[in-house]
Amino acid sequence: MTPKIIPMKTLFFLTTLLISVSGLSQDRITGKPFVTRSEVIAQHGMAATSQPLATQVALDILKQGGNAIDAAIAANAMLGLVEPTGNGVGGDLFAIIWDAKSQKLYGLNASGWSPKSLTLEYFKKNGYEKIPAYGPLPVTVPGTVAGWFKMHDKFGTMPVEKLLQPAIDYARNGFPVTELIAYYMNLSSKRLQKYPGFKETYMPNGHTPRKGEVFKNPDLANTLETIAKGGRDAFYKGEIAKTIDKFIHEQGGFLSYDDLAEFDAEWVEPVSTNYRGYNVWELPPNGQGIAALQILNILEQFDIKSMGFGSADYIHVFTEAKKLVFEDRAKYYSDMKFSKVPVEQLISKEYAKERAALIDMEHASSKYDAGELEQGNTIYMTVADQYGNMVSLIQSNYRGMGSGMIPTGLGFMLQDRGELFSLEDGHNNVYAPRKRPFHTIIPAFITKGDTLMSFGVMGGAMQPQGHAQIVVNMVDFGMNLQEAGDAARIRHSGSSQPDYGKMTDSGWLEMESGFKYEVIRELMRRGHKIKYSLGGYGGYQAILYDPVNKVYYGASESRKDGQAAGY
């Protein structure tokens, strides 16, 4: 059969059309071609959360004269309703707050401790090699509500009743579920619907809500109303605490009324490193925030800018730095009330130089040891107000929706953070009563003179990797706030976890689409095992204060339902 010859004029038209369509699908008049949207810019306030309804709740509070702390509490309560796949009042909370009045950063650790009556001996006696992911045993005290009131007592201006009212109204009257949340709720239901209360709370029509369906959670509305009227003690010392105690013990667990009543969140000092002139701030352990600082310190030993974004050299150095740091993370990071964590040494420049010297630019390492020293789904959100205050806040139940434990009639699931304890004798993170487990959720902040930036990248072990990539994208590669979040990310998995011993091979280097094939081929030549993954690259939100123009810039995550909005 003779092939049909396409006239040159037609061929030219089709080629031009193809180039135009392909260019218009990604091209932008300004900024990088991969960016999904422009930065949001506003004078008086800004909110960036992972769900548009929560962002709007935060803005409403700001417009009523509330400050960033008020708006953050209101938005977080709302997120527990509209995004139960990542957080809720049954989880923990961490925050870094910039107080404009004192010109100071404050750190908040609102992570709960383990039950007093549950011991390491119990796990060993019953043959556990690790703490289960679901059920009553991994449940620790939920710290979120204590965190709200700690923040509010120090910085809040509007009554808590007013801050929780939007979430109460939406819980009672309903809201349309987004495509992404519908997907994750359905996914969670496959493993959680066997637990009591799940179907009643999240499958009222025999299935989890589908995209666009209006979902109501009247039990959660009642719980939030109880907290709004009775304050912090209504949760930790009232009927809610008694209900949690009764339910967990009926399920064979140990969390008690006393564990709740005697718990409180606490203020902690943020720690920082200077990366090429920018002060990057994180919270100290039991969280993994200092891992981001350690990665940045190692990267600072290399000329990252000249390597270029997306280059094999940059990705190789970043991955090797991550491997080095995560060995330290596995060995040292834990509740500092139980173990001496050498934070100052871990984030020192001298230590970074020693560790950086171990990186071979031609070969991916299959094994690093921790340094010898003297001794997921989540939500991230940030708010800034007209007074100059900023809040960087992260909150989670762990493993998406949590433990599967929904106390009778309360409308929320308890977290399963206790799974992250080690059962190895002598380990820094070994299980003990009234101890806070190693934590993955971390808020971040950057300061340089009067320039301020609150940001975070949710997503388990991705978080410190994501934090470091955002900083490098902006500082070394000159990206703006939105570009830094939209740029293709990498995620290395396979380094030591807190309780699984040393890395045994090079792990997997997971790469989003957008990296050149010749780069991937070169990384494989150096010994990296490459794979593509659907998701797992985190969820980013950020606010930047520009002291020159006196405006806020907002950026949000295009991979999720995120929205940044200002006024």
Active site residues: 378
The Cα–Cα gap between 416 and 393 comes to 20
Question: Which residue type sits at 50?
Answer: S
- Judge whether 454 and 445 are in contact, CB under 8 Å: yes
Q: How far is CA 405 from CA 191, 204, 253, 333, 437, in A?
A: 12, 17, 10, 27, 18
Tell me the three-class secondary structure of 434-463, residue by residue: CCCCCECCCCEEEEECCEEEEEEEECCCHH
The Cα–Cα gap between 342 and 373 comes to 7
- Judge whether 516 and 310 are in contact, CB under 8 Å: yes
Tell me the three-class secondary structure of 363-394, residue by residue: CCCCCCCCCCCCCCCCEEEEEECCCCCEEEEE
Task: Classify residue 157 by burial, with Cβ atoms within 10 Å: 0-12, 13-18, 19+.
Answer: middle
- Closest by alpha carbon to 488, among 499, 477, 498? 477
Helix (H, G, I), strand (E, B) or coil at 340: coil
State the pairing for strand pair 539-546/551-556.
antiparallel
Question: Which residue type sits at 239?
Answer: E
Task: Classify residue 235 by burial, with Cβ atoms within 10 Å: 0-12, 13-18, 19+.
Answer: buried
The Cα–Cα gap between 438 and 426 comes to 15
- For 126, the token pair is 């019953």
Phi-psi domain of 368 (left: phi exceeds 0; alpha: psi -120 through 50; beta: other): beta
The Cα–Cα gap between 396 and 181 comes to 15
The Cα–Cα gap between 131 and 74 comes to 33
- For 122, the token pair is 């119990």
- Sign of the dihedral through C-alpha 285, 286, 292, 296: positive
Task: Classify residue 466 by burial, with Cβ atoms within 10 Å: 0-12, 13-18, 19+.
Answer: buried
In the structure, how many helices (H) and strands (E) does the chain have?
20, 19
The Cα–Cα gap between 143 and 60 comes to 26
